[in-house]
Each structure stands twice: as structure tokens, then as C-alpha cells.
Structure 1
Amino acid sequence: MQVDVFSSRPFSGNPVAVVLDGTGVSDEQMQALARWTNLSETTFVLPPTTKKADYRLRIFTPGAELPFAGHPTLGSARAWLEAGNTPRHAGRIVQECAADLVALRHRGDDLAFAAPPRIRDGALDDADLERITAAFGIAREQVLAHQWVDNGPGWAVIQLATAREVLELEPDLSLIPDAMVGAIGAHPHGSEYRYEMRTFAPAVGVPEDPACGSMNAGVAQWLTASGAAPASYRVSQGSRTGRDAGITVTAENDGTVWIGGDTAVMIRGTVIL
């Protein structure tokens, strides 16, 4: 299946290709298919290796395998359900991936995943920040805050004052070929969305990701824990890539951050591997 994620308008979110039976498919075949689909991610559903999980997921970009990614998690769960599968526990799906177990809550058509723990956080060092601002073509003074928000892919983020500044970025990714980096800025008060996000992943062959669940997850953990953002907010992403994505963030009292959005199966078929 191919699933559109983070948009209620068809063909406006971030698509993920989902192979519903990855049993017997080699690493080389998985990577070759991901390179061929040329989507930001292609996933392969496999039997779990633990009784705690409903299925195991492997996630590939055109250039590398990722231990975790957000929109593929939501899109693969939607495809798995659409294929007639039932989770062990009603309303709760558990995905096994290289980054450990990831919980999803399932309420009617709504899906959201629990942001996994960050494996790296804290402020960027001066050298990293200098490389990013140079690549983004902005002055250091424009950066309000910055942070490692790595939950597997390697994300770092800078915060700018406004959504307009984020949308106006014209990054030279040749200056940061190994980067996994994003930028976030606030929309004007009263807007439908609180923030605008853009994410760039040249390290894994994705120049700009139309909508990124893992980046939003790590950023949400940072912003809500520090009190810089409310417990619930919405993020827009993808307009510079011709998309119209919306990501919903909900931080619970126990510290769990849920990342949700619309999912819709757009293609059903057979792939020959």
C-alpha cells in the first residue's frame, strides 16, 4: 500500500510505501525498492520478535535504513489495519523497530504515536551551529534557541522567531551533506497552526522532508518540557514542497508526547521483489 500521512486533502501529505509482508526480503532488496520508490521512506512489515509487539517494522530512505521515523510509523499502522489486522489490545498498537518498541493509540480513524525517548539532547556546539547557519544563509543572531532532538535519525533543530523566516530559508545542503536538521518558527497569534516546521535530511538522501513525525516528536518533547510551548498545539509543514501537512502534538501529564495526523491509503497493489 501507499499511504498519505499528515493531510486530510488527498496527495497533500507525506507518502510512505508499505510492503505488508517483508518476510524473506533481503536488506539489499529493501534498500533497492526504497531507492526506486524515491519516497522519503519505504517500510517493510515483519513478524515481531517479542510478544509485546503487534508487528516489526523496518524503515528505509532512498539512501539508508532508519531505526525510527514518525510518518512511516503512522502510515504503516494505517496500512496494517487496512489489511485486516487486529492489535492485541483494543485501541493500542505496539510497533517493534530498531529503536525499540513504539506505542500507537488507535481511536476510530485517529492514529498517534508516543514520541520515543531522545538518545541525544542538549544545545548544539558552536561548530555545528555555525555550519547550519552558514548552510541556511542566516545570521547567528536569528537563532532564538537550538537543540539536539535525536530519537534515532540524528535530528538537530534551530528555532527562528517567525514562520516566515522558516519558509524563506534557501539552504545550501552541499555545506551540510551529513546533516539531519530542522527549523521551526512561530505563526502569528490566532493562526490555525502555532508553528511552521521544515526538515532537511541530506545524510539519508532526502533534501527536504514534506512532513516529519520524528522531528516534530523530538522538538515537542523539548518545547513542552521547557515550557516554551503549550501542552497541545498544531504544526504546519510542507508548503515549500507543494504539500499541505498538519501535525498534532499532545503532551500528557505523565510526560508522554503524542504525535498524530490524518492517514489515508491511496494505492493498493502488488510489488514484485
Structure 2
Amino acid sequence: MPRARRFIQCDVFTDQPTQGNALAVVVDGVGLNADEMQRFATWANVAETTFLLPPETPGADYGLRIFTTTREIAFAGHPTLGSCMAWLAAGGTPLDPSMVRQECGIGLVEIDLRSGRPAFVAPPTKIVQMAEDMRRHIAEVLDLPPDCISRAVTLDNGSSWQLLELDSPARVLGANAQRLQQSPFRGIGLMARHGSGAGLDFEVRMLAPSNGVSEDPVTGSLNAAIGCWLAEEGRLTLPAIVAQGTAIGRTGRVHLQHDQDGRLTVGGDVRILIDGTVML
């Protein structure tokens, strides 16, 4: 029998309501099975929908399951920050007042609250050079000249990304996401470094035809993976600000920095826009 459950919808990675990435959070997911969660996530029709649950791991503050409109995923960045702030808004009290510990598909993820802006500790990222045939295929689909691609890697931190580093932010913003609609790729990332004086460090896009949307407004897990890759190559200067969503009229801002323990964190503002109930 359906019952009233607290429901919070928030906007993540922006300080301007409706300019970030929407997240739907069912605060009490107890008693819902995976099929019921997926049906609601499909109906909610935002990039991700999450369900808060009691944790099973000692030291965790809450458990989380994350669904896109088509499938469950182990980890994602904006659902992590948004769910954390929804949990706190619903009265959650962390075991450690400075750090929320979220249990999800990749294990424990820490969300640092000390800076005033929630920031999750970037999970380990597996980095593999992209195969030349895949690099060529993606470039052809997006109509990108081969000489505009400086690097191409596959990154995996619970989600898998095919990432192309391009020669300019203009090239990133000019790529046509609609050309990927018939492709088999789940997540194509594009990035470029901004020049000095821009007030921003990187421009990022995530094209996601297989996730039910042509482009994700702001992608915390992709930016976490990019940060880990750049840091491994010695090319990341912190703090850094990433712009994402520009091509679709959003002003997403992702903040990369080190926490007090020297770990890479991925932060962003969260705004709660809807707080009510849903019958599930």
C-alpha cells in the first residue's frame, strides 16, 4: 500500500535556483524494492533520483541508492551532495559534525562540511588511455577535427567516462550533442582549460544519450574523475573552478580543492526548491 514519504527536490552545483542539476530525493526509501525505485525515477524524469536508507556499514550516516531514468548506478556526484543536504534538512545528524559519511554502491563516500560548501572526497579513479579506434569514432560522430584533441582517456570511478580534452572552451561548447543520439556511448566527456583572466579554470560537458538525456547539466562524478586524472599527471592547480552546463543555458559551478587532509574534494552549492511528500 502506498504511503506518504518525505520528498525533497534540490538544485546542485549552483547558487542560482534552476541553474544547476536537479535531483529528486525520497527521504525514506525503506520498503521500496529496486523495481519500484526505478519506476519512480523514470517518472520523476530528472537526471538522477535517490532513495535514503538506513546504513548497513558501521560508521556510515545513511545508505543511498541512485537511479537514472533507465538504470541504477553505483555512484554519482550531484546525487551525493544533494542527498547529503536533503538528509541534513530532514533532521539527519552526522556522527561527525564536520563530515557526513554516505554508504552507496562504491562503499563509503565522505562529504566534508567544514568549508561551508558541501564537498565529497573524490573516489579512486581508474585511468586508461583511450583506444585509437574509439577516439577516432567519437571525433567523427561529433565532427571534431582530429588535431583539436590533445588527449583522450577512459576514466572509471563507479561510472565510466570517455573523455576528450580539446584545444579550447569554444570547441567544447561547439560540439553537437544531438549527433550522439544513435551512438552506443553512455557518457562522453569534453573538457578544455580556460585562459587566464576568465575567472574559471575549465569548461566541461557530459553528453549522455544512453542515460535518457542528451546532455547532463552538471556532473560531479565526471569532474571528480577529471580532477584525479589531472592531479596524477601533475596538471591540476587547486583551488579550481569548473563551468558546466553553459551549452544548455545553465551556470553550473564545480569547486575542486584539497581538504584539510590533502585529499581532492569536489564541492558545490545546493539549493532545496521543493520539500513535501510523495505517495509511494
TM range (shorter): over 0.9
Matched, 1:88 2:95: yes
In structure 2, distance between residues paired with 1:249 and 1:133: 28
Deviation at 1:254, TM superposition (A): 6.3
Tell me the secondary structure at the aligned position of residue 93 of structure 2.
coil
Matched, 1:167 2:173: yes
- Paired AA for residue 76 in structure 2: A
Matched, 1:20 2:27: yes
Residue in structure 1 matched with residue 267 of structure 2 by the alignment: 260
Structure 1 length as normaliser, TM-score?
0.96
Residue in structure 2 matched with residue 243 of structure 1 by the alignment: 250
In structure 1, distance between residues paired with 2:198 and 2:258: 20
1:235·1:247 contact (CA, 8 Å) conserved in 2?
Answer: yes
In structure 2, distance between residues paired with 1:142 and 1:252: 34
Please list every run of 5 or more consecutive structure 1 residues that lacks an aligned counterpart in the other structure. none
In structure 2, distance between residues paired with 1:126 and 1:23: 46
Structure 2 length as normaliser, TM-score?
0.93
In structure 2, distance between residues paired with 1:254 and 1:227: 19
Residue in structure 1 matched with residue 58 of structure 2 by the alignment: 51
Residue in structure 2 matched with residue 128 of structure 1 by the alignment: 134
1:231·1:252 contact (CA, 8 Å) conserved in 2?
Answer: no
1:1-273 correspondence to structure 2 within 5 Å: 1-107=8-114, 109-118=116-125, 120-171=126-177, 172-251=179-258, 256-273=263-280
Deviation at 1:92, TM superposition (A): 0.5
In structure 2, distance between residues paired with 1:155 and 1:19: 27
Q: Alignment length, in residue pairs?
A: 272
Please list every run of 5 or more consecutive structure 2 residues that lacks an aligned counterpart in the other structure. 1-7
In structure 2, distance between residues paired with 1:188 and 1:121: 26
- Identical positions, percent: 39
In structure 1, distance between residues paired with 2:10 and 2:186: 27
In structure 2, distance between residues paired with 1:78 and 1:3: 9
Tell me the secondary structure at the aligned position of residue 138 of structure 1.
coil
Tell me the secondary structure at the aligned position of residue 85 of structure 1.
coil
More displaced 10-residue stretch of structure 1: 246-255 or 155-164: 246-255
In structure 1, distance between residues paired with 2:128 and 2:27: 37
In structure 1, distance between residues paired with 2:181 and 2:50: 27
Q: Which runs of 4+ in 1 moved over 6 A?
A: none
2:218·2:245 contact (CA, 8 Å) conserved in 1?
Answer: yes
Tell me the secondary structure at the aligned position of residue 235 of structure 1.
strand
